[in-house]
């Protein structure tokens, strides 16, 4: 109600006639109230000098200590169609247990005898390799035989050359003897002719000597012809050596060419065998992928693909699984301004969602329902939410965490720092200062030792 009137009500109306006035405005009430204010002031002064534990709080959730223990989804590395489910949601499975069976949807893999036929092709190619290996060995033997035969033929031709050379020498010696005899017959004829002219020899003796001389000349011509024939045979023998070498070189070259062609075909066939073996191995592995199995012991959380006959692509999530054996941890986030205060091994108090707790921020020893933990990992790169991620594991020296907590549930964390008076904490909060730079006792001791 607005006080518009200029008339003052307290000056015109008195309250002394009321009982409440007499009970309220009494002298001893002022004394009690003054005592209360003095006691409250003394208590407040005592309280502001009490110790207060500075802390850094954060919100997070439960996770696992190692990545392989966290909830995961199972994918199929190949596209397919769901044919049969072997589990239900909530079932426990062991590592290697079949979860579902899928079939192929690609045309090139739909042949039910694809693996067997590929193996038949591989075996046929292996037999071809064996055949080519036999052909290479036969050609190698043929080359060896031709080389041996060439060696024998060349040896035979060289012997013939030696024979013709010896024959040339023999004919040369006979030619010299015939020439000598021809010269003797010529001198005898000339001498007999002279004696006949002088009347000392008869004409018959001259004619005998002439006949003998002509016979020797005929022998000389025949011997020269024989000598030239022998020399010609030496040249023919040398030509035969060259012909044999060229002929067998051509035969060996043809055999080697056939051998190289067979080896080339053998290597190509071996490459085809390797390719078919690779294909058959891939088909075997692909057939094994038709059965989606559990990667580790766990519980089936949720089927992300349902029904029969539903198709999917490779890499799509099919079902979620939670490992059975895992080490629990808390994943929390702190502001960048508080990151320098966090250290590995730092003590942390944790309040789990769903678990009753009475918590006093500055007096952790007076809290109830919180659990102890230690920092085991600090992320060095900021997260998408603008904070830094910290991983907290149970403190083995303190009480165990509840057994019924589940991965993914929320948690409220309080990192315990330095003890300060309450008045200092109030002054720091009013001024917006961060908590005191804090180092664990172990690090402080090491720093002093270094100094």
CATH number, domain with residue 261: 1.10.287.620
Which class for 409: exposed (0-12), middle (13-18), buried (19 or more C-beta within 10 A)? Answer: middle
Q: Same domain for 127 and 200?
A: yes
Q: Same domain for 250 and 138?
A: yes
Residue 35 lies in a domain: no
pTM flag (> 0.75): no
pLDDT value at residue 449: 47
Q: Same domain for 259 and 340?
A: no
Write the pLDDT tens digit of every residue in 217-273: 888 888 888 888 888 888 888 888 888 888 888 988 999 899 899 999 999 999 999
Residue 16 lies in a domain: no
Residue 204's pLDDT band, with cuts at 50, 70 and 90, is confident
Residue 362's pLDDT band, with cuts at 50, 70 and 90, is low
Q: Same domain for 411 and 387?
A: yes
Write the pLDDT tens digit of every residue in 398-411: 888 888 888 888 88
Residue 352's pLDDT band, with cuts at 50, 70 and 90, is confident
> Final residue of a domain: which of 303, 323, 343?
323
Contact call for residues 385 and 412 (beta carbons, < 8 A): no
Identify the domain containing residue 156 by its residue range.
Answer: 114-288
Q: Same domain for 190 and 330?
A: no
In degrees and rounded to multiples of 5, residue 324 shows phi and psi of -80, -45
Write the pLDDT tens digit of every residue in 177-199: 888 888 888 888 888 888 778 77
Mean pLDDT of 136-158: 89
Q: Same domain for 278 and 413?
A: no
pLDDT value at residue 423: 75
Mean pLDDT of 119-130: 90
Instruction: Count up the domains in the chain and report the number.
Output: 3
Q: Same domain for 245 and 319?
A: no
pLDDT value at residue 447: 44
- Given CA atoms 276, 277, 282, 287 in this order, what sign does their dihedral have? positive
Calpha distance 165→416 (Å, rounded)? 117
Q: Indicate whether 58 pLDDT > 70.
A: yes
Q: Same domain for 390 and 439?
A: yes
Mean pLDDT of 130-145: 90
Residue 386's pLDDT band, with cuts at 50, 70 and 90, is confident
Q: Same domain for 90 and 187?
A: no
The helix-helix angle for 422-431 and 27-48 (nearest 10°) equals 80
Helices (H), 198-308: 203-288
Q: Indicate whether 101 pLDDT > 90.
A: yes
Q: Same domain for 136 and 254?
A: yes
Calpha distance 321→300 (Å, rounded)? 5
Q: Indicate whether 319 pLDDT > 50.
A: yes
Q: Same domain for 250 and 306?
A: no
> Final residue of a domain: which of 270, 301, 323?
323
Mean pLDDT of 369-392: 87
């Amino acid at each position: 109600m607005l006080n518009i009137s200029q008339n003052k009500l307290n000056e015109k109306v008195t309250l002394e006639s009321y009982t409440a006035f007499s009970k309220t405005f009494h002298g001893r009430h002022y004394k009690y109230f003054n005592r209360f204010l003095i006691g409250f002031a003394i208590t407040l002064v005592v309280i502001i000098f009490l110790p207060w534990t500075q802390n850094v709080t954060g919100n997070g959730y439960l996770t696992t200590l190692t990545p392989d223990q966290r909830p995961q989804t199972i994918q199929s590395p190949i596209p397919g169609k769901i044919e049969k489910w072997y589990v239900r949601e909530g079932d426990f499975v062991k590592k290697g247990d079949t979860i579902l069976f899928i079939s192929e949807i690609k045309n090139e893999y739909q042949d039910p005898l694809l693996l067997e036929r590929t193996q038949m092709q591989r075996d046929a190619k292996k037999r071809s390799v064996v055949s080519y290996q036999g052909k290479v060995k036969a050609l190698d033997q043929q080359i060896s035989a031709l080389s041996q035969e060439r060696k024998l033929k060349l040896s035979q031709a060289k012997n013939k050359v030696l024979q013709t050379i010896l024959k040339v020498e023999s004919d040369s010696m006979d030619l010299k003897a015939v020439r000598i005899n021809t010269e003797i017959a010529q001198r005898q004829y000339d001498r007999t002719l002279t004696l006949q002219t002088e009347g000392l020899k008869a004409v018959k003796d001259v004619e005998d000597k002439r006949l003998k001389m002509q016979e020797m000349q005929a022998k000389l011509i025949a011997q020269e012809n024989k000598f030239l024939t022998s020399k010609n045979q030496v040249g023919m023998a040398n030509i035969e050596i060259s012909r044999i070498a060229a002929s067998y070189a051509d035969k060996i070259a043809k055999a080697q060419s056939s051998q190289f062609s067979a080896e080339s075909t053998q290597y190509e066939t071996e490459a085809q065998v390797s390719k078919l073996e690779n294909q058959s191995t891939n088909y075997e592995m692909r057939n094994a992928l038709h059965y989606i199995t559990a990667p580790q012991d766990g519980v089936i959380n949720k089927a992300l693909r349902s029904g029969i006959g539903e198709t999917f692509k490779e890499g799509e999530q099919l079902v979620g699984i939670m490992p059975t054996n895992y080490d629990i941890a808390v994943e929390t986030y702190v502001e960048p301004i508080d990151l320098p205060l966090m250290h590995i091994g730092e003590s942390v108090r944790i309040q789990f969602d769903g678990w009753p707790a009475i918590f006093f921020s500055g007096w952790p020893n007076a809290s109830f329902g919180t659990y102890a933990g230690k920092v085991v990992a600090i992320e060095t790169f900021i997260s998408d939410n603008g904070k830094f991620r910290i991983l907290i594991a149970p403190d083995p020296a303190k009480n165990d965490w509840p057994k019924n907590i589940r991965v993914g549930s929320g948690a409220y964390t309080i990192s315990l720092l330095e003890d300060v008076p309450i008045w200092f904490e109030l002054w720091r909060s009013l001024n917006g200062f961060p908590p005191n730079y804090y180092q664990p006792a172990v690090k402080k001791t090491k720093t002093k030792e270094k100094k």
